[in-house]
Amino acid sequence: MASIRDRIALITGASSGIGRATASAFAAEGANLLLCARRADRLEELADDLRTAHEVNVHAFSLDVQDREAVDATLAGLPEEWKAIDVLVNNAGLSRGLAKVYEDDYKNWDEMIDTNIRGLLYVTRAVVPGMIVRGRGHVINLGSTAGHITYPNGAVYCATKAAEKAISEGLKLDLMGTPVRVTSVDPGMVETAFSEVRFRGDMERAAKVYQNITPLQPEDVADAIVWAASRPAHVNIHNIVMTTIDQGNSYVFNRRG
């Protein structure tokens, strides 16, 4: 296991769920953290907790990855001591709605495409050139089993995650000849606010997603991310597909009871 102590890790969507768990997991290994999300209050709370618990440096800032100009300006304007990013975790992402393509709301499509595809591209474009110049770096993108097999009523979300998969594969090819690594971590069902966001706060409907099943926890995914990041420099983990034991693919589940 290669040490990631004192490395700088940028995690998008770090205020909750997988992003928050990933920040904690990196901090536990002694990494210094750049944390961004749209909810600044939650970020500051997390930053304080991590500084206290792990004695690491944390720089938290509000950022909407959908806004290309904000991404460029914010990352270019980082304090000098924070610019040499070693690990980028493109975690920011969401799903909206669960409906047939011909009945869905255009706004759902826009938000998913702008966050899951364009946002990932904007942050990657801003960070990777510096990694190439410095001769080190690792891009870890959050994909999904939804990018491997499409499920009913989720065509557009699945398409955004299939795009993430293709972008990760293409980026790795583009970086051949450099020491910069690329990994896609593709979890199945994870118990986070994902379903609450998808159903716009409908807690009852969101709870049914996890009914009679044991889902992955954010910490499970964070563990895989840190594992990939801590391989020796010559080892690149291209892809990790992970699910709960109760999940066969994007829409086959073992629901007990």
Pull the structure tokens for residue 34.
């750049």
Contact 89, 225 (CB under 8 A): yes
Q: What is residue 140's three-state secondary structure?
A: strand
Q: What is the C-alpha to C-alpha distance for residues 146 and 160, in angstroms, rounded to an integer? A: 9
**Phi/psi of residue 219, nearest 5 degrees:** -65, -30
pLDDT in tens, 173-201: 999 999 999 999 999 999 887 667 676 77
pLDDT at 197: 65
Q: What is the C-alpha to C-alpha distance for residues 171 and 45, in angstroms, rounded to an integer? A: 34
Q: What is the C-alpha to C-alpha distance for residues 182 and 137, in angstroms, rounded to an integer? A: 9
Q: What is the C-alpha to C-alpha distance for residues 98 and 110, in angstroms, rounded to an integer? A: 14
Contact 144, 187 (CB under 8 A): yes
The residue extents of the domains of the chain are 8-242
List beta partners, residue 241: 186
The string over 40-58, giving b where at least 16 C-beta atoms fall within 10 Å of a residue's C-beta and e elsewhere, is: eebbbebbeebeeebebbb
pLDDT at 107: 95
**Phi/psi of residue 186, nearest 5 degrees:** -120, 90
Catalytic residue of the set 102, 122, 157, 251: 157
DSSP 97-128: ----GGGS-HHHHHHHIIIIIIIHHHHHHHHH
Q: How confident is the model at residue 40 (pLDDT cuts 50, 70, 90)?
A: confident
Which CATH code for domain 8-242?
A: 3.40.50.720
pLDDT in tens, 152-168: 999 999 999 999 999 99
Residue 59 buriedness (CB in 10 A; 0-12 / 13-18 / 19+): middle
pLDDT at 206: 67
* Helix orientation angle between 120-134 and 68-76, rounded to the nearest 10 degrees: 30
Q: What is residue 94's three-state secondary structure?
A: coil
Pull the structure tokens for residue 130.
């510096």
Catalytic residue check, 251? no
Looking at residues 77-98, what average pLDDT do you find? 96
Percent pLDDT > 90 in the chain is 84
